[in-house]
A and B are shown apart, each in its own frame.
Chain A
């Protein structure tokens, strides 16, 4: 199994600012995912990031708001741009070598926007 580390683990940010969340995997993974978990809710997929290609965003999420980088097979970043209190959530990074295997997840980043 892969170990996924996310930084920061939590942050409190001012509205209108941006935060970049880093996700590091201890082994190479083909696919990386970014999810949002709003308070008391389930996980909603923001985008899938495969190395060497543009991230694929789910309905309701746009690149200008959530730009993603995937420079290599072990690292990805998610930026939450121009934040508002509605962006207060847990953001989780996940990774896997293919959809016929399990995905592993980081501990999440708890973001509070004030």
Chain B
């Protein structure tokens, strides 16, 4: 079935440590790819997007993501996590030929002191 998978429901990292959040999709053609963040009680904020071109994309707040076609993945990374990064992170795709945004299951990031 076509889907967006975020294998990690929860992740805890220490402040200052690096972070990688995983995202895999199962669509035949490369979709448009996005990462959004949802802070407690807040709406969704776009971190970054990939449509084509350079497979390493830079976003806001020091985040980056790498698209790997062979692995159908679009993992989100940050070299040094801050306590304010604690939030829910959603990977999302626009499947080729569709006019809608499909969200993954989400990963809740906890940051320990």
The smallest C-beta distance from B9 to any residue of chain A, in angstroms, reads 10
A100:B32 contact, CB within 8 angstroms = yes
Tell me whether A48 is interfacial, beta carbon within 8 Å.
yes
B101:A107 contact, CB within 8 angstroms = no
Taking A33-B100, A33-B101, A105-B43 as contacts, is the C-beta distance between A42 and B49 under 8 angstroms?
no
A42:B103 contact, CB within 8 angstroms = yes
Tell me whether A19 is interfacial, beta carbon within 8 Å.
no
Interface string of B8-34 (1 = CB under 8 A from A): 000000000000000000000000101
Interface size bracket, B side? 20 to 34
Bound CA–CA A84/B99 (angstroms): 30
A42:B98 contact, CB within 8 angstroms = no
A99:B46 contact, CB within 8 angstroms = no
A103:B43 contact, CB within 8 angstroms = no
Tell me whether B83 is interfacial, beta carbon within 8 Å.
no
Q: B49 is contacted by which of A31, A35, A102, A107 (Cβ under 8 Å)?
A: A102
Collect the chain A residues with CB atoms within 8 Å of residue B56's CB. none
In the complex, chain B residues 63-80 whose Cβ is within 8 Å of any chain A Cβ? none
The smallest C-beta distance from B32 to any residue of chain A, in angstroms, reads 7
Collect the chain A residues with CB atoms within 8 Å of residue B106's CB. 41-42
The smallest C-beta distance from B90 to any residue of chain A, in angstroms, reads 7
B44:A105 contact, CB within 8 angstroms = yes
| Pairs A-B, 10 closest by C-beta atoms | A105-B44, A107-B43, A43-B103, A99-B94, A105-B43, A42-B105, A42-B106, A102-B46, A42-B103, A99-B99
- Interface residues in chain B, defined as those with a beta carbon under 8 Å from any beta carbon in chain A: 32, 34, 36, 42-44, 46, 49, 51, 90, 94, 98-106
- Interface residues in chain A, defined as those with a beta carbon under 8 Å from any beta carbon in chain B: 1, 4, 31, 33, 35, 41-45, 48, 58, 92, 94, 99-100, 102-108
28 residue pairs of the A-B complex, CB under 8 angstroms, read A1-B46, A4-B43, A31-B99, A33-B100, A33-B101, A35-B103, A42-B103, A42-B104, A42-B106, A43-B44, A45-B100, A45-B102, A48-B99, A48-B100, A92-B44, A94-B101, A99-B32, A99-B94, A99-B98, A99-B100, A100-B32, A100-B51, A100-B94, A102-B49, A103-B46, A104-B46, A105-B43, A106-B43
